[in-house]
Amino acid sequence: MNLPKRRIRLLIVDDSPQVRRILAEGLGADPAIEVVATAPDPYAARDMIVKYRPDVMTLDVEMPRMDGVEFLRRLMPQYPLPVVMVSSLTRQGKRITIEALAAGAVDFVAKPTDNLAQGLEAMMLELRTKVKIASVANVSHYKGRWQAARAAGADRASAIGEAADKIIAIGASTGGTEAIAGIVAKLPVNLPGIVIVQHMPAGFTGLFAERLNAINAISAKEAASGDRILPGHILVAPGGRHLRVVRSGAVYKVSCEEGDKVCGHCPSVEVMMQSVAEQAGRNAVGVMLTGMGSDGAAGMVAMRRAGARTLAQDEASCVVFGMPGEAFQRGGAERLVPLERIPAEIVRLVRQIGKG
């Protein structure tokens, strides 16, 4: 992780004085982070952003005067700033968190509910890490943000050919929820089945799948063991479970099982892509999107060696160019593609399957 040489200037926004104090003490204890200010609500935060010019902001999801989502919607087009959301684990808190990611937040952490002492320690460790990742995130594109628009009906329904025996595998982490949503919105409805690993904890992946289902013509759901991979359908790996593709005769299905973290994650892109390489081989297309680290890089190499077609998001359009960069550097991704061109590239590669 290439972090700035100077300390990261951090603004903390939370309506609870106690939470502000806990976050300020916990984050300020890290020698790489300087808490320059705290704010009780977005109105105060707006003034402090102008005064202190923070590098990163942590933002409470649920606040009384203006919630975090509405603040982000107003802030990001005018003043793009890397933001890490601090979310509650209530269903409403999770739903608002998904909306916050759509509005421009880089990532989120969940507040602990059980075993507060141990949970708080784990949360602070995660939050420190994500503040550091956010400090190198590229959010400049929110100024002239690419709004994923649905393509015209003729393009959305363009013929893909034999879609049932093909698979599209997409991996993403930091910044991936909106990259995925934007891509899916432009894909034809009769495209081969799509399997997705987006780094998220349990409880959030289901809501992310619901959001994809609500905003797109392509059907989306959180995956469960035994689900078939069908044309025009998306299966999102559930948080806390690895998704593997398995072949049964002419049918592709998924297996979703708990397991140790792989490349630091569960679900892991690596696990999914290795299974796609083994089970689908040349009948697959692999796509690596924005994210920190190298999860899936070796799996994409395996996919390419098995004859699959592959691509990765280019650096300029990534929030974090870790996973795509690694996949390309190791030879797993054939080429780097700007985010807005990825839907058309997926369609092109799918059409080429079986022709080479």
| 324-354 as b/e: b if 16+ CB within 10 A | bbbbbeeebbbebbebeebbebbbebbeebe
Q: Which residue among the candidates 30, 227, 295, 314 is catalytic per the annotation?
A: 295
The one-letter amino acid at 272: M
* Alpha helices (H) along the chain: 17-28, 42-52, 68-75, 91-103, 116-135, 153-156, 176-184, 205-215, 269-279, 297-305, 323-329, 342-352
Decide if 295 is catalytic: yes
Catalytic residue among 173, 268, 275, 317: 173
Q: Is 64 helix (H, G, I), strand (E, B) or coil?
A: coil
Q: Please tell me the distance from the alpha carbon of residue 80 to that of residue 63, in angstroms, as a whole number.
A: 21
Task: Return d(Cα 68, Cα 356) in angstroms, integer.
Answer: 49
Report the distance separating Cα 244 and Cα 11, nearest Å: 40
Residue 199 appears among annotated catalytic residues: yes
Q: Which of 135, 199, 233, 317 is catalytic?
A: 199
Return the SS3 of 35.
strand
User: CA-CA distance, 195 to 241, in Å (whole number)?
Assistant: 14
CA distance 295 to 266: 10
Asked if residue 127 lies in contact with residue 150, where contact means CB atoms within 8 angstroms, the answer is: no
In this structure, the dihedral spanned by the alpha carbons of residues 213, 215, 218 and 219, taken in order and rounded to 10 degrees, is: 10
Just list the catalytic residues. 173, 199, 295
